[in-house]
Amino acid sequence: MRFPTIEYMQWAKTFIEGDMQQIGGSGMPALEPHELELPGDDAIRLTSDGMYGSSSVRERLAALYQLEPAQIFPTEGTSLGNFLALAAVLDEGGDAVVETPVYTPLSDQVAAVSDRIDWVERPFEDGFELDPDRVAAAIRPDTRVVVVTNLHNPSGVQVPDEALLALAERAAKVGAYLLVDEAYRDFLFEDPPGCAARLAPNVISTGSLTKAYGLGHLRFGWVLGPEDVVHRASRINDYLGVLQPGPVASIGLRALDHLPRLRARCRRHLELTRPILRSFLETRSELDMVWPQSGPIAFPRLGDGSDTDELLRRLREEFRVVAVPGRFFRAPWGMRLSATAAPADLERGLSNLGSVLNGLVRT
């Protein structure tokens, strides 16, 4: 089967019931429409001002990321951006090198359009660092693309630009691309925003307004990269999204108008919640952790190396609190926790997790 069910997507969409408290979710609290201060009905267009992505969106993102409009293709979220970029570079077949632990909806997409995946470990023991030599060892003559996330999902660890450049150079030796999923990069609060696509001619970035700004349901994302890849992606999109919805383009542009304010909103939230998550992780002797320098997520593991599934099943059943099991990242020994919930909710959810951890010690 070319498109088997993406287990993590199905879990995230159906397993978490409305009244449950999430302590592993990756996006900031949903933005309310009034926070965008839309000036009136005419702020929202029902038509798109471009057949291959809104021209205004392409121009705005080009200015933001210091690229040419032809290097930009607007997509329905990072997810569609990843799929189109992968389909574009693997159109003639070929293999992929993919990081692990990995956000499996991304690696499932790679599996659907590549001939083979070679995995590159980002070991917990090395602070989830992405080692260019390790990646180089996985690259083979048929490798067409190397796929990584920055910030890393699930650990939240940043890959420095120098390491990305080293990866791009290693990939270029066999004519391969480097695809960097930057869904979490905005949590670095760079000004102006950075993107890997500027680093070298064989690098593609994907991103969106989903995570840092609470706009996951707007589905406003992008592919940034070499013109030929972007062009190919835009033609493959004729099988899928076809047109960028006008309302999405106009609301997304409005959000970009308000970027400094939305960033401040995100920053304020994390300044309150990251210390709560960090002190919980530091005080729980059952857990080992790598604390990321920025962003909302972390991926601790149980010190005895056991799977987190049973722990998280109890957390859900006993307290209706949900965190993301490591198996959705090909790393069953971990669990993704996050600082996206409101401070009081996060404290309560973590305290419930603490109770389940206490129970594990007793049994």
Ligand X SMILES: Cc1ncc(COP(=O)(O)O)c(C=O)c1O
Q: Which residues bind ligand X (CB under 6 A)?
A: 26, 77-79, 103, 106, 149, 153, 181, 183, 208, 210, 216, 221
Least gap, CB of 299 to ligand X (angstroms):
12
Least gap, CB of 248 to ligand X (angstroms):
12
What is the sign of the dihedral through the CA atoms of 229, 204, 13 and 100?
A: positive
**Which of 356, 362, 345 is CA-nearest to residue 20?**
345
Least gap, CB of 105 to ligand X (angstroms):
7
Least gap, CB of 122 to ligand X (angstroms):
13
321, 23 contact by CB (below 8 A): yes
Least gap, CB of 57 to ligand X (angstroms):
15
Give SS3 for 290: coil
Give SS3 for 168: helix
Q: Residue 74 or 314: which CB sits closer to ligand X? A: 74
Distances 262 to 31, 57, 147, 158, 301 between C-alpha atoms, Å: 9, 18, 29, 21, 32
What would the two tokens of residue 242 be?
Answer: 């076809």
Q: Residue 106 or 322: which CB sits closer to ligand X? A: 106
186: number of CA atoms within 13 Å, CB side?
A: 27
Q: Residue 56 or 78: which CB sits closer to ligand X? A: 78
| Rounded-to-integer distance, Cα 155 and Cα 102, Å | 9
Give SS3 for 118: strand
**Which of 77, 25, 105, 30 is CA-nearest to residue 296?**
25
Q: Rounded to 5 degrees, what are φ and ψ at 83?
A: -60, -45
Q: Residue 103 or 187: which CB sits closer to ligand X? A: 103
Least gap, CB of 82 to ligand X (angstroms):
6
Q: Residue 273 or 340: which CB sits closer to ligand X? A: 340
Least gap, CB of 8 to ligand X (angstroms):
9
Beta bridge partners of 117: 96
Least gap, CB of 210 to ligand X (angstroms):
4
CA-based angle 200:64:338, to the nearest 5?
Answer: 85
Q: Residue 25 or 284: which CB sits closer to ligand X? A: 25
Give SS3 for 249: helix
Q: Residue 85 or 353: which CB sits closer to ligand X? A: 85
Number of C-beta neighbours around residue 279 at 10 A: 11
Q: Residue 106 or 339: which CB sits closer to ligand X? A: 106
What would the two tokens of residue 358 be?
Answer: 């206490």
Q: Residue 137 or 242: which CB sits closer to ligand X? A: 242
Least gap, CB of 214 to ligand X (angstroms):
11
293: number of CA atoms within 13 Å, CB side?
A: 12
